[in-house]
Amino acid sequence: MSDIRYDRLHDCYVIIAPERLHRPDIGRGKPKKEAVPKACPFCEGHESMTPPEIFALREPGSLPNTPHWRTRVVPNLYKAVQIEAPYAHHFGLFEHWDGFGAHEIIIDTPRHLTSMVQWSSAETSDWLRTLRERVADLRKDSRIAYISLFKNEGAEAGATQSHSHTQLIGLPIIPARERTRYRVAHDYFVSHDRPLLQEVLAHEREDARRIVAAENGVTAYCPYASAYPFEVLIAADRVREQIGALAETTIAAIVPTLQKVLSSLQRQLGFLEFNLILATPPLQAQEIAGEILEHAAESCPFYLRIVPRLYRQGGFEISTGIMINPVAPETASKLLKEGIDA
């Protein structure tokens, strides 16, 4: 079982997860560029190679853990945390939680696609629907205070399986960085009666220098204070829905922009290894004021953040949390906009 340990010196949590040591990549160095592996556990027809599914979007009449699915969600074999662990918080100088939590793999498509750039619109829409359903389901569990939703694409981004997949990690604690984000979003919302994200989007559209695409009420832009080169944030301009309550109209509006941005990144950078992070709201009141939860859905609306992995971080970034980004977002957005128009 893993341990969620509190680092009192730096006010942050660390997950000590020995089970992760058995992940396929450890001890082998960098995984080689692979063709279709002989037995990919995530491909359609190989359902018996994964633990039983938790959720799936399936064709009518098909049975769980058989083919004819569009997305499939299974427990991660190499868990950072597990739902079967005791929900137990131990206090003291060396404070920790038993490794309780949810760690799920969303198999994004039955086809052996290795990049999100290859996905169809229908696959991209089903992916968002699946994430919505998982967050909506897990937020009913009062022990889960926070959900991290992310994709790692490419070895540089931390991926160990090449078949397109997304990860969900639900925790009994709220990370310090996210706690701050929720507090800032909440304070802005109660004093201005509109989400901070909406305000930022409106300013970015007005300024226009960092816009990559703006259409169908959706804006994609390189943030003013981009921490990473070619970082792109995508959000619907007026939406006040969190991921677990995404409307079909929001999904339909976001998907074309997301696909264009990914294709442009691929075209302009020549290769694409990235992390994609989906914004989630706080779910329970652990370590966060109850009032923040009241407006959480509206104050923390859904957005996607794409972070290409071009450079490694050094001691300055680790010690300060301040990123040094050598590519101005104004330059990145111009190139990405050209990539879309090309």
Interacting residue ranges for Zn ion, rule: CB under 5 A? 40, 42-43, 112, 163
Q: By C-beta, is 164 or 299 nearer to Zn ion?
A: 164
Q: How far is the CB of 118 from Zn ion (least distance, A)?
A: 12
By the 10 Å C-beta count (0-12 exposed, 13-18 middle, 19+ buried), 255 is classed as: buried
In the complex, what is the shortest distance from the CB of residue 256 to Zn ion, in angstroms, rounded to a whole number? 26
Of 113 and 176, CB closest to Zn ion:
113
**Bridge partners of residue 3, in order along the sequence:** 16, 98
Cβ nearer to Zn ion, comparing 21 with 35: 35
Question: Minimum distance between the CB of residue 46 and Zn ion, rounded to whole angstroms?
Answer: 7
Instruction: State the minimum distance, in angstroms, from the CB of residue 42 to Zn ion.
Output: 5
Distance set, CA 340 to CA 27, 213, 277 (Å): 40, 8, 22
| Residue nearer to Zn ion on the CB measure, 19 or 44 | 44
Cβ-based nearer residue to Zn ion, 132 or 163 = 163
Please count the other Cβ atoms lying within 10 Å of the Cβ belonging to residue 306.
24
Of 149, 152, 335, which Cα lies nearest the Cα of 232?
Answer: 335
> Residue 253, CB half-sphere, CA atoms under 13 Å: how many?
20
User: 171 Cβ partners below 8 Å, 6+ apart?
Assistant: 4, 81, 101, 144, 145, 146, 147, 148
Residue nearest to Zn ion (CB): 40
253's CB contacts (< 8 A; 6+ apart) are 216, 217, 218, 236
